[in-house]
Structure 1
């Protein structure tokens, strides 16, 4: 697997891939109108371009055989969705095509994020995960993350709860 930084010139692919993987992951668990309402904002070209151009955020694609099979979004300092902690990094998104799951891509993404955080001498990695996404919660627990809080998340009009999980690095 190759991990490649995403740039503004990759915006069309990021928009398309973000929407596809989000819909694939959550469409069967939520109302279509809530999924579309969220995706139309979160994965719009303008929103993703703003995020790509934020120096405290970074997107990376995972490539297998020159095909994009996943992506990760990492936030530092002021770009973090909750704490804005300069001693931490947030993994805001990890998505992998269903056809590429089971190939250790998620693990490699977490290892990559951890390596970046350690190079910057950060103290921990944190993320939010939907409390109904039991497979993802187990995945993060297997990789050393522990739940420490919750926060509200609105998917369209649907009020959901995310577990906040963290992994200490020091």
Structure 2
């Protein structure tokens, strides 16, 4: 049962497809959420290197301009509280024979954790998956990110493989999880 505050938040969240004009917003929230989530468990150098390599203006602009990638921003009134990035086809970070959709990022500001924003973003992914006819949604989650692993497991995702994720000079293991789309 949701408490009254969570219900109010759910009723006031708007999810909107992002465009190139949202680049600065996406970059700002990416850096903030990535740092909030991973800085305490990684070296400052590795966090800095990841941000420099993966969340820079050129990289994010290329991702926003890729026809096989889509970004969706979650707003609470006019405040940006999170976003998601999904990939189709050759934009996916891994290649599978099946018809798939990758969730590359669901980032929610720490102040909004536990307020159902991640759930709303994941529900949006599931709607998109249904309308695009993919067989399953997949994603990678750092094996030490227990909160995210619990969230995805609760939502019907199961581990099917793993891969290496480079965080600066640290090789970390991401568990690959998938959710089969009911037909």
TM range (shorter): over 0.9
1:122-152 deviation line (CA, Å, top 9, x unaligned): 1100000000001110100000000000000
1:133 and 1:42 mapped to 2: Cα distance? Answer: 19
| Superposed displacement of residue 84, structure 1 | 5.3
TM-score w.r.t. length of structure 2 = 0.90
Q: How does 1:19-168 map to 2 (within 5 A)?
A: 19-83=31-95, 87-168=99-180
Query: 1:87 touches 1:122 (CA, 8 Å); kept in 2?
Result: yes
Residue 34 of structure 1 aligns to a residue whose secondary structure is: helix
Verify the 8 A CA contact 2:163 2:173 in the aligned structure 1. Answer: yes
| Paired residues of 2:29 and 2:109 also in contact (CA < 8 A) | no
Please, what TM-score do these two structures have when normalized by structure 1? 0.97
**Unaligned segments of structure 2, at least 5 residues:** 1-12
Larger Rg: 2
Cα separation, partners in 2 of 1:85 and 1:24, compared to 1, 3 Å: farther
Contact 2:143–2:175 under 8 Å retained in 1: yes
Distance 2:29 2:111 in 1: 14
Please state whether the residue corresponding to 2:160 is helix, strand or coil: strand
Partner Cα separation in structure 2 for residue 97 and residue 15 of structure 1:
13
- The answer to whether structure 1 residue 3 and structure 2 residue 15 are counterparts is yes
CA RMSD of aligned residues (A): 1.0
Q: Which structure 1 residue ranges, 5 or more long, are not aligned?
A: none
